[in-house]
Amino acid sequence: MTTTSLVKEELKTKMVKTQTMTGSEAVIQCLLQEEVETIFGYPGGAIMPIYDALYDYLDQVNHILTRHEQGAIHAAQGFARTSKKVGVVFATSGPGATNLITGLADAMIDSTPLVCITGQVASPLLGTDAFQETDVIGISMPVTKWNCQVTKAKNIVETLAKAFFIAQSGRPGPVVVDITKDAQFELVDFHYKKCKTIRSYQPKPQLNLEQVKAAAELLNKAKKPMLIVGQGVMLSGAEKALLEFAKKTGVPVASTLLGLGVFPGNHEQFVGMVGMHGNYAPNVKTNECDVLMTVGMRFDDRVTGDVSKYARQAKIIHVELDAAEINKIIKADVPVWADAKEALEALITLVEPKKHDAWLNEFKEAKAKENQVLLENRAKDFPEQMTMDEVLSLLSDLTKGEAIVVTDVGQHQMMAAQFYEYNQTKSNVTSGGLGTMGFALPAAMGAKMANPKKQVVAVIGDGGFQMTLQELGTIMQNNIGVKIIILNNGFLGMVRQWQQLFFEKRYSFTEIQSPDFVALANSYKIKGQKVNQRTELKSALEELLNSDSAYLLEVKVAKEDNVFPMVPTGASVSEVRLQ
């Protein structure tokens, strides 16, 4: 046994006995019991006792001081999404807590396990409009999986145990525990017991074998089956089962945005991403396949386009853990209400081995056509300037599709989804459901904290970067070796693209000026360079990747490039446009 594990063991034995301590210390002890190693946060009046207790435990738990609470929560999201752990956030009452709301909404819609602990004014002051008092429970209710206010120290332990259980079980999500300042000071007998069940909460349904059999029957009869995989595969740890299932059935595998990486991007059965800016083939083939099986995805409107024209010809198998998602948007012919891993493992035994070479070939031909059209158009429209796709293709090649790529929101995000070949699970971190600009920089810090040995690259637009650039300070102070690529087109590019296509090029407030990003990085002691010429790109990317500390690379790209393929709003997926 190593010294650290010895200490941990000793700690655990110690914890079995009841100890008297303050509510604040109990909070920290709870985190240790849940094996939390990293906390992202920002102190303030109402959470000071907890920060004071934390000060005694810095040898056992790491705290990262961000520059804004939004940075803390996005960092925790990046941390959770690239590890198997819960992201933990500390924030104070009032503005500290309200600054978490965007991250909570983002984590809620993208199913990310978080436990956010907020300080609150002392309980006698609740409802008095006290300094920095805000109704955190009321405000965060619609954007949390669960939240709870604690006003007595004796309830801290049980509530936090419940919080960790809820955050990571079933369909994961963010939890807020709001602790009043008097509860933090109060003494409590500490005895930790992990929460394993809650009477009113069923995280996982029992696998229904009838449903699985029905799904297998449909698949066995299918001539043109197609599979769409989502983040649910990753959340249930079903990547291996998926690979085996795909190999056995020979089915073409497409992915949602958040599903990228759950199936290797370089696998011959991988046919690309579906949706508004997804690949041509999987969009068109959605309306040609005879059986459409989806696993761990929720038919987001960006995936389906016009639902009345979505896969009408196909029998639909929807494998989904969250019962409320089944038949919410698209009616399933065979719903499989189950954990993705359990369902896939059961299906593997029931499906017949098949090859669908001709069918798969149709996808490949369409992909080739798509590549050709996109490349020709870009060459024609932008003969001199660099475009985002080439930066991402080159990044993909240089990292062999094995880096963790964290993207923000907009054109660069879709380009990364299309041109970075995600070969590993948990390597794609992006704000999918909520579309939060400013997500990438802090989320990349969190991803790097969870994966210190991996290459973590944040790809960000010039607009999104300026929403949370203060986190460069966090990167500096904590030596977080994230690599930052800013694709600078001088526009809020995605909105500009829509203005060009649907608002007669009326560029209303989408042109954006930026500071000297490299000088800015330098002022935070972060190395960097700016690239204007294609000839400089490769060596600049290599320098970025080889740097052993944080690095910022700004690439000047064509101002008015557009993301294609594109399914215009209200159109059917089969009406996907290549130009």
User: Contact residues for other proteins (CB under 8 A)?
Assistant: 137-138, 141-142, 145-146, 149, 166, 197-202, 206, 322-324, 327-328
Nearer to other proteins, 197 or 508 (CB): 197
CA distance 58 to 81: 24
268 three-state secondary structure: coil
Extract the tokens encoding 549: 């500390």
Strand ranges across the sheet with 315-320: 270-273, 253-255, 225-229, 291-295, 315-320, 334-337
Smallest gap from Cβ 323 to other proteins, in A, equals 6
Nearest to other proteins of 166, 183 (CB atom)? 166
Give Cα 254 to chain centroid, integer Å.
18
Q: CB of 401: closest distance to other proteins in angstroms? A: 36
Q: What is the 3-state secondary structure (H, E, C) of 302-330?
A: HHHECHHHCCCCCEEEEEECCHHHCCCCC
Q: Which residues are catalytic?
A: 69, 131-132, 181, 494
Q: In angstroms, what CA-CA distances link 497 with 202, 462, 562, 579?
A: 44, 15, 6, 12
- Smallest gap from Cβ 95 to other proteins, in A, equals 22
CA 482-483-488 angle, to 5 degrees, is: 135
Among candidate residues 149, 155, 112, the one with its CA nearest the CA of residue 134? 149
Tell me how far, at minimum, the Cβ of 336 lies from other proteins, in Å.
16
Give the span between the Cα atoms of 431 and 107, in whole angstroms. 9
Nearer to other proteins, 7 or 198 (CB): 198
Q: List C-alpha distances in Å: 196 to 85, 172, 206, 403.
A: 17, 15, 17, 35
Reading phi first (left if > 0) and then psi (alpha if -120 to 50, else beta), residue 504 is in left
CA atoms within 13 A on the CB side of 420: 32
Our CB check for other proteins shows the closer of 142 and 515 to be 142
Q: Of 149 and 396, which has the nearer Cβ to other proteins?
A: 149
Which residues share a beta bridge with 225? 291
Measured from the CB atom, the residue of 134 and 418 that comes closer to other proteins is 134
**Distance of closest approach, residue 226 Cβ to other proteins, in angstroms:** 26
Residue 202 CB, shortest distance to other proteins, in Å, is 6
